[in-house]
Chain A
Amino acid sequence: MLRNIPSPYLVLGIFILAFALRVYNLEIVPYPIGDEAMHIASARNYSERGYFGPDNWYHPPLKHILEYASLEVFGDSPSGWRMRNVIFGSATIAVLFLIAGQIVRNRAVALLSSLLLMLDPLHITFSRGTFEDIPATFFMLLGLYFGAVAPGDKRANLIVSGISLGLAISLRVYCASALLVVLGIRAFAPQRKSSAENFAWLLFLPVTVYVASFLPWFRRGYSLGEWLLMQRDAVTEMMKLKKESFIYMAGVAADLGSPPEWFVKFIAFAFRIGVEEGRELLVVYMNNPPVWMLILPAVAYMTYLGVRRREQCLLALAATFWAIYLPFLVTGRPLFLYSSIPLIPLGVLGIAVLADRYWHKAAKIALAGAVSWCIYLYPVSVGMNLPPTLYDALLNGITILR
């Protein structure tokens, strides 16, 4: 295993490259598209007055605070709206590289797997938007790294993991799966700190961060008891979401991808943002079957290896993947392609483990081919104006939402 923490310059270089790939042409859409208008308005409403709307109020509110920070620092502009995700999306690649460095022997495999996520079309597109799944995934991976993957058993790791997982849960509740996995791993790891210490830092810190994210809401006059009632109301409302709640998407829901389809078939849809020289300009959201079809078998292999070798790092990553994905498969409410965002880095890490195990000529060619394919898709992800013949076969017939 590559046990050394890689050079900080290499990690920084990966972040910079990912950032450059995501920030390119960020203002290509000069107005909010999809749910962006809702996210931007809610960022101001929540941070300035503790009011959740117009976004769905039952989601955790840290996304509004982070989005507001982006607006304040980078301005109320297309760049300002989207910079939060550009930064956290790029940082996700750097954390993925750190994790990969701990679970594979070959640095080349770690680098190539980072490239796979760096160039993943869906991760790029959402890193250029305002959906909170991007920063949630970053903090979840960071929490996993310090909680279950990083070498050594320092208290500082527990603290950083606890805070990171708290931030992740304050963005997306499904990240609680990662917290449960880290707690479980540590409970059964004899060489780690005592259970009481693990439990204290890894449970109370995330809860503290979660409660703190509601401080703007408390300023509206609410007490702690009313906060507990509000949490109950939020759970009640989320549990009652059904397909009918998304009636406005009824006509196109089938084209937006459901969890059983994410890793087995090509899914693509787009927003029309204009017409230029007789051609439609689109923002395309799509998965990447040549890579994604490897994810389920790769994560299954990572699970098997983790159990057989009792490798906590592998078990933590695999368990988090299944703990998020399996409930998605059985939930009654519709879930669209963007909900797969937290699974992509975990899946890519599974591919890294598989490639590392079978690192011979065929695997090298396959991995290099996958990266090349991702490079081919990059212009579509960032809306580059290229000859349409290059992508007609790929995009012909996809659902266009606007």
Chain B
Amino acid sequence: MPLVPVALLVVLCLCANGLGTGSRKFADGTRIHEIKRPEEALLLWHKADVKGRTVLFFDNELAIYPLLQGSLLNRMEMLDKKKSLPGPANFVSLAAYDGIMRRAFIVVPDESWPDREKEAAYFPFVSRHNSAVRFTIEGTPIVITTLGNLPEISEKVLLYVNDEMLPDRHRAYVQNLIGARRADVVLVKRR
């Protein structure tokens, strides 16, 4: 069998993988910011000049329907060659659009998981598997899950924490992440 076409594919895959992982941008050290409104996150991520990142949301207010609505809002604006103003409904999809977020995990308290499953059942394109719900916003994967089912994430993450409804277990996990310098930009939302 001629090796040239096989080699071409292998080289391309290696290059694509290197291009992708090499495009991720991290901030120096660990920065912790307090925010009052969710959309401030977008401004701070831009300031930190981070790109292509995994975002960990510890926020029980984030749900499938509002996230999809926010994405739809952005879509409509794009058709008019405009960019949406960031707000609570669409800052997550704008983070994806701006290339800051390439994937997201939303960690919810164990007791709210049944409600999340019920919500997911309304959307045929949302996949449910092993206490995790997976869907996409314009191809950007978002997983809603509980802390016990959060997969191992080897890279540094962007942390978004809603401090008002954070269970103790989640708080300990977040503090551990910060202590181990596995989060470079930490945003804590408090009223």
Residues of A whose CB lies within 8 Å of any CB of B are 37-38, 41, 45, 49-54, 57-58, 162, 196-197, 199-201, 203-205, 207-208, 211-212, 214-215, 217-224, 226-227, 229-230, 233-234, 236-237, 240, 242
Contact = CB atoms under 8 A, between A and B. Distances in A.
B138 A222 contact: no
A221 B78 contact: no
Given A51-B97, A204-B9, A229-B141, A197 B124 contact: no
27 contacts: A38-B79, A41-B78, A45-B97, A51-B97, A52-B138, A53-B74, A53-B75, A54-B138, A57-B139, A199-B1, A204-B6, A205-B8, A207-B9, A211-B9, A211-B16, A212-B16, A220-B23, A221-B23, A221-B24, A221-B52, A221-B102, A222-B52, A222-B102, A224-B20, A226-B102, A229-B141, A230-B141
Interface string B91-133: 0000011110011000000000000000000001101000000
B30 interface: no
Contacts of B21: 221, 223
A218 B13 contact: no
B103 A226 contact: yes
Interface of B: 1-2, 4-6, 8-9, 12-13, 16-17, 19-21, 23-24, 51-53, 71, 74-76, 78-79, 81, 96-99, 102-103, 124-125, 127, 134, 136, 138-139, 141
Given A200-B2, A200-B5, A205-B5, A51 B127 contact: no
Contacts of A242: 124
Contacts of B16: 211-212, 214-215, 218, 224, 227
Contact of B17 (A203, A224, A230, A233): A224
A219 B15 CA distance: 11
Contacts of A201: 2, 5
Contacts of B74: 53-54
Contacts of A200: 1-2, 4-6
Contacts of B134: 233
Contacts of B5: 162, 200-201, 203-205, 208
A212 B12 contact: yes
A230 B24 CA distance: 18
B17 A197 contact: no
Nearest to A224: B17
A132 B138 CA distance: 19
A219 B19 contact: yes
A356 B139 CA distance: 49
Contacts of B1: 196-197, 199-200
Contacts of B6: 200, 204
Contacts of B52: 220-222
Given A221-B20, A223-B20, A51 B9 contact: no
Nearest to B127: A236
Contact of A219 (B13, B20, B53, B124): B20
A57 B138 contact: yes
A200 B9 CA distance: 11
A260 B109 CA distance: 50
A41 B80 CA distance: 9
Given A53-B75, A237-B136, 7 more contacts: A45-B97, A53-B71, A221-B24, A221-B53, A223-B17, A229-B141, A233-B127
Contacts of A53: 71, 74-75, 78, 97, 138-139
Nearest to B96: A51
Contact of A218 (B19, B51, B53, B138): B19
A205 B6 CA distance: 8
A53 B74 CA distance: 9
A58 B1 CA distance: 33
Nearest to B103: A226
B17 to A, nearest CB: 4
Contact of B125 (A38, A45, A211, A240): A240
Contacts of A215: 16, 19
Given A51-B97, A200-B2, A211-B12, A220 B20 contact: yes
A236 B125 CA distance: 7
A207 B81 CA distance: 33
A289 B43 CA distance: 57
Given A53-B74, A207-B9, A233 B136 contact: yes
A369 B4 CA distance: 51
The CB with the most chain A CB atoms within 10 A, among B51, B81, B138, B141, is that of B138
Given A201-B5, A204-B8, A222 B20 contact: yes
A41 B79 contact: yes
Contacts of B138: 51-54, 57
A203 B17 CA distance: 21
A100 B138 CA distance: 42
B60 to A, nearest CB: 24
Contacts of A214: 16
